[in-house]
Amino acid sequence: MDINDNKSILTGFGHDVARRLDSLGFTVFAGCLYPDGEGAKKLKSESSKRLHIVPLDVASDESVLKAHDFVVKHLPNNGLWAIINNAGYNVIGDVEWLTIDLYKKIMNVNYFGAIRTIRNFLYLVRRNKGRVVIVSSVKGRYSWPNNSAYHITKHGLETVGDCLRLEMLKFGVKVSLVEPGNFSYATACQSESHFKRYEEEADEMWKNANDDVRKTYTRKYLDNDLVRQRSSISGSGATTKPVVDALEDAVVSGLPHTRYLVDGGTWFDRYTTLARYYYYLPTWLSDWIITKMTGCDKFPDYSKMKLD
């Protein structure tokens, strides 16, 4: 599995499922972007000796190859049973604001990172008729304004998962997609370090925008995006347990689900609720619902917002 974590994050889907599978007796290879970070150290200290921390940057071919060599060298006699692809991050901004460089950066981690990992380790799983588990997102089910870069990667993972599932039928390998809803609080993906990155990316977008875009939208439009990101924490699921339960089931069940759509939120997750009905709705109606949820059809009332 890969845990593309921030140095200071001590929780998350990758971190928690690594601990869960270790507790079940699996030999776990936890790929960490920051193997010397607090999150990796905590994971190692709270796990058995069967758990290995593996340096892994899924955006790098060289790093994935090195991780492969480490895993092969330390594999138990029964080989590799499962791959869990979990690494990912978010980029916010309208299409007219996002730079090509930002699109490339998120694609290289969220999308190509999963493909790199699968391509390098799949033959080991195929030998055992094992499992491939891809952590996508509820946002791979529909399209959302102001978030195209992230949605593109998650829609791409949904397609890769579907194609791979059909390709692996003849080998007896099961492929599952896990689609978490709102778990931004539980995973610390809305930490201050993330907000700092959002601010830096907003500065980059402002710097690279043409005069017409700057005049039409104004800088307050970008700043409002940051306000909305902070507000998304409210209503988030408080624990990763529902997602970790789904990941465990995808690995150990004799009949794993093709998709695990996992509700977040405190008592109601509007994102997963929309996903359950989205493909049954006419486009005009789903557009109307998303417009009402996001207010994307009009500029925000800045007088009612706290913009630093």
Active site residues: 150
| Residue 275 vs residues 43, 236, 259: alpha-carbon distances, Å | 33, 17, 12
| Residue 169 vs residues 55, 57, 119, 174, 175: alpha-carbon distances, Å | 31, 29, 17, 7, 9
- Whether the Cβ atoms of residue 1 and residue 29 lie closer than 8 Å to each other: yes
| Residue 51 vs residues 21, 26, 130: alpha-carbon distances, Å | 9, 8, 19
Burial class (CB in 10 A: 0-12, 13-18, 19+), 212: exposed
Whole-number CA gyration radius for the chain: 20
For residue 292, give the nearest of 277, 270, 263, 262 by alpha carbon.
270
Look up residue 109 and give its two tokens.
């981690």
Give helix 38-45 / helix 13-23 axis angle, nearest 10°: 10
If DSSP codes are grouped into helix, strand and coil, which group holds residue 265?
coil
Burial class (CB in 10 A: 0-12, 13-18, 19+), 58: buried
b/e string for 227-258 if b means 16 or more Cβ within 10 A?
eebeeeeebbbeebebbbebbbbbbeeeebee
Tell me the pairing of strands 131-135 and 174-180: parallel
